[in-house]
Structure 1
Amino acid sequence: MCDTPAERELAEELESVRRESASAYLAALPGARAAVLARLWRGLVHEPLPWIAARVSGRDGIVLRLVDGRRLHGPPSDPWATGTAVAAVELDGVPYGHPALLMAALRVPGGAPFAAELDHSVASLALSRTAPRPAGPPAEPWEWEQRSPDGHPYHPTCRSRPGFSAAEQLAYAPEHRPVVGLRLAPVTGATVRGPWPAEWRDGDAVLVPVHPWQAGHVLGGRRTLPGPPAHPLLSLRTLDLGARMHVKTALSTRLTSQVRDISAYSVEYALATSEVAERVANGLGGRLHIARTLAAAGAGTPDLAAVLRESPYVHAGTGEQVIPVAELPGHYASHSPHERLERITEFARLAVSVCLDLLDVGVVLEAHGQNLLAVVDGEGRPQRLVYRDLADIRISPARLARHGLPPPPLTGRLLNDDPTALRRKALSCLITGALGPLAGNTTTLGTLLEAATRDLPPTPDLRALRTEELPVKALTLMRLSSKDDQWALLPNPMSVKRRRGKVSG
């Protein structure tokens, strides 16, 4: 039943570390293959891959003609659909039901390492799906982050965890709900920004929190001390410490698209970035809270650093909950269809207005389902937003100056004044990471965006959102090329909706 190296490796490990889960893992493999294949097929159909010459849609699906003359045939693909499964895609008439085997057969540049990542993604997704689903509502706020096994709804490597054994996934991944014992690495001469906790100092040395996977696989024989217990969150390498604080640790392996280490640049500018974001957010009339960066420390290398930040859950008022946007679909699953559409439309109005207002001022958030959280009342109505993890926001000095705000005390990659780059960052993260998964299809996404943008003040950014093709990260192209921020432009769901309205009218 195991078709690939990663599947077999995890199956063999499970037999030795958790035999009672082995049969559930094998049963989950077909569904995991179909789920990852659906994400890969989405990328092949909608992204500007240089080895695809033409795409033709017909009654029986979509045909992709490759530049070498071969043909791929698969089902229709809605770029905003979630929870989809693709049983097989045919390459010159030969069906492939496993995304890794399909990618290997394509023999395209970058395909071999990407096929290995797809293999890991399938195997890890199957293992994630063996985790028992939580019974009842969360007892602790961080439990919201441990409820979904499937990861990014559009990314083909949604669960790729290279270097993680079955035992390590069970011990560290949030969907398995473990308690993780952090390690503390003594660092003399560390770079420290902000008030570092006194209990994490030892004479002249700073004790830097280290993920146990990092301590075992990357830091080698470096001495570490026992650290506090913590609960892993959606991003796996970020953990809840209790006492209103989260810690982001370095994890030098590629999860989804990025190697999850922490650069010396991020440590240096962690507090300054937080202060700029807070100052701008404070001008939004209480619609947005920033989970403040409290302190950062590092040894000057990306594999040994940590960032401490305020827990986003401190921003819940009486009778309110703070829920990661990635978990809102599950939260609204018990609502009636009418109530659910009402709630996600309210969220869309709030999120689009906040992100466009910030963009106009000159701060661009990566407002995807992990970083963006919604404060909801007892009926699930969104009241405010919370944003966390400021490492990859963008700041426009020119736009800040236009609004009479001082220049940011920063240099380097966080600064950008290019309107196209700023819009792409803002809109692609918000729509691909938050609104698209909530909508679940193109038609509903068009409805949400129409409602969210209808009464906003006109700006060039709003005009671009309403009329231009939507920029999204080309997730498959990025993995094949090993380059960050490659883009696809998709038909605007609002334009599609308007055209359909005219035809039906």
Structure 2
Amino acid sequence: MDRVDLKPPADTVGQRADAYAAAPLLNCLLREVAEQLPDSGRRPVHRLPATGRLLRVRPGRRPADPEVYGAGAWHRLGHTELVKLVAEELLRHTGVSGGDLPAEMIDSREAVTALLVARARATAPEDPYLRSEQSLITGHPFHPAPKARGGGPVAAWLPYAPEAHAHFPLVLLGVREDQVAEEGDLRALDALGTAPPGYRLLPAHPWQLALLDRDLAPAFADGRLVRLGTTAFDAWPTAAVRTVYAPRRDLFLKFSLDVRITNDIRRLWRHDLLKLRRIDTAVTQAFAAMDSPAAWLSDRGYRTAVFAFEELAVLVRDGLRGHLRPAATPLLAAGFTEGFEGSPPAATADPDAWWEAYLRQVVPPALTAFHDHGVVLEAHLQNTLVAVDAAGTPVQALFRDAEGAKVLPDVSRAAGWERLVYCLVVNHLSEIAAALAEHHPGLDPWPAARRELARHDLPEIPALLASPTLPGKTNLLLRWTGADGADARYLPLPNPLATG
């Protein structure tokens, strides 16, 4: 279900889209650029230092109702006006124009409009896991354009949008055997259909295939590629858009997608594919050695065509059933921050106990993987599933995405720790804690988080609990200045653990 505080009964779809799109942009602006003025009352006033403009918003984890001061009065800003304000500030702040980012911000808002309209007409999946994966209307809460879809026409991407409750068959291609590049356990791909003699089966995402239409025409013409129809079952796009889940096969497939989503063009890049098995093996071994119910959804291998190595790559990921505890229901952690029908944090009658159970499942495996095995999980909200029992209590955490994981010494321990703290504490626990406290006013989630972290004998923990700041990723400035999407840059944020 949509977030209540962004959906007043009288709002039009356009007003709701403005609210959804403005919240993450405001989060970025307030975190990375603006300066809050002291004693500015219940509606905090922020100064934009480069232009000197004054901005005030309705505070909260999803700030709303932005107003700018001018001619002696406060003036309400729609999303378009907010983008202009941000662009003027950042142009003066950085000295660069921001490239395509202003257009992406507008595209993100237009995408939200299309999603809200489509979602109102669609039927949500009965499976609570799929509902949680397809619940993210806001998306990344600290990105200026989290729902941008590459600027293409709505008709090109909406049939494949998880937020619109899409599901669709996959296209089956045959790749001539002398043109195949692959590594790992790919039996799940071969089981999807039957390839003609001399060919290997290669599923394709229909959106990606449409984007590659001209580029692949010669390969279809000379027989390096053949079309073999579609799968006999539907796949459901997950929150990651290009990763789909096929419930009938209990199979995840991750595709390349030549579209910018948040910070990156979402291809399966060659350099990541070539190190996939090494990293996945290290993470798999780390989880196997843990005395924990936590699980790792292994990225078992990839297959592609040598003439379109990145463009046609598909990655095979473990399904859920072989990893779940009996009678447990997996749910996407990011879904808890948006809300969906049956979301446990909203429904629990004992938020303190629920939060302590959540911390017990999520925190230990991430810290153990790092300290005992040199594995840095990208344990953010979209890479973590939390399985709950019949009462909605967390009983297991499942982690995914070898592409985002790091191993020591590929990165230094200090750099790995900073990344883990950002992903696990800032991106993940802070958002769940804020959502839980919003549903249950009066709850202070940080003493329990502090206790859970303090239980673990890592040399970095005392400094983490004593530090006045945590590392916050600067997605707005990163995108505005055209930095590489993988080049994380951090600024200090107040650390709630230091006083929790």
Please name the residue that 1:366 is paired with. 378
1:85 to 64, 67, 72: 64
Give, as a single letter, the amino acid of the residue that structure 2 aligns with 1:431. V
Q: Cα 1:168–1:345, aligned 2, differ >3 Å: closer, same or farther?
A: farther
TM-score (norm 1): 0.80
TM-score by length of 2: 0.81
Distance 1:496 1:381 in 2: 27
CA RMSD of aligned residues (A): 2.8
In the alignment, what sits opposite 2:351?
Answer: 340
Instruction: Label 1:138 to 1:452 Cα distance change in 2 as closer, same or farther (>3 A).
Output: farther
CA deviation map 1:14-63 (0-9, x unaligned): xxxxxxxxxx9x9222222233323222222222x5xx7x5533324233
Shift of the alpha carbon at 1:253?
A: 0.8
Secondary structure, counterpart of 1:298 in structure 2: strand
Which residue number in structure 1 is paired with residue 180 of structure 2? Answer: 190
In the alignment, the residues of structure 2 paired with residue 342 and residue 84 of structure 1 have an alpha-carbon distance, to the nearest angstrom, of 28
Aligned: 1:227 with 2:230: yes
CA–CA separation in structure 2 for the residues paired with 1:262 and 1:485: 19
**Structure 1 residue 386: deviation in Å?**
0.9
Give me the whole-angstrom Cα distance separating, in 2, the residues matched to 1:393 and 1:184.
29
Q: CA deviation at 1:495?
A: 2.3
* Matched ranges for 1:19-418 at <5 A: 27-47=12-32, 49=33, 55-60=36-41, 61-67=44-50, 69-75=51-57, 81=61, 83-90=62-69, 96-98=77-79, 99-106=82-89, 108=91, 109-130=96-117, 131-132=119-120, 138-139=126-127, 141-188=129-176, 189-196=179-186, 197-198=189-190, 199=193, 201-220=195-214, 222=216, 223=220, 225=227, 226-228=229-231, 229-241=234-246, 242-300=248-306, 301-329=309-337, 330=339, 331-336=343-348, 338-361=349-372, 362-397=374-409, 415-416=410-411, 418=412
Q: Deviations over 1:280-310 (max 9, x none)?
A: 1112213321112232012353222110111
Change (3 A) 1:317 1:63: closer
Deviation per CA, 1:165-196: give whole Å up to 9, x if none: 22234311112222223223444422211233
Distance 1:465 1:202, change over 3 A: farther
Instruction: Say if 1:200 and 1:208, in contact at 8 Å, map to a contact too.
Output: no
Give the CA deviation at 1:134: 8.4
Identity rate, percent? 22
Cα distance in 2 for partners of 1:133, 1:357 equals 45
Q: Deviations over 1:194-249 (max 9, x none)?
A: 23333464444433322111111234252462232311111111111231211101
List alignment gaps of at least 5 residues for structure 1: 1-23, 398-414, 498-505
Alignment check: 8 A CA contact 2:58 2:65 kept:
no
Output the amino acid matched with 2:491.
Answer: A
Q: Residue 236 and residue 289 in structure 1: after superposition, are their counterparts in 2 closer, same or farther (change >3 A)?
A: same
- Contact 2:99/2:482, CA 8 A, preserved across alignment: no
Find the counterpart in structure 2 of residue 427 from structure 1: 421
Name the CA distance, whole Å, in 2 between partners of 1:151 and 1:200: 38
Paired position in structure 2 for 1:8:
none
Report the AA paired with residue 495 of structure 1.
A
**CA distance in 2: counterparts of 1:244 and 1:271, whole angstroms:** 21
Task: State how far apart, in whole Å, the 2-side matches of 1:187 and 1:474 are.
Answer: 41
Question: Is the Cα contact below 8 Å between 2:292 and 2:365 reproduced in 1?
Answer: no
**Count, aligned residues:** 445
Letter in 1 for 2:67: A
SS at match of 1:213: helix
Distance 1:59 1:318, change over 3 A: same
- 2:23–2:141 contact (8 Å) kept in structure 1: no
Equivalent residue letter for 1:193: E
Query: Does the 8 A contact of 1:250 with 1:305 survive in 2?
Result: yes
* Distance (Å, rounded) in 1 between the aligned partners of 2:198 and 2:427: 42
Letter aligned with residue 493 of structure 1: P
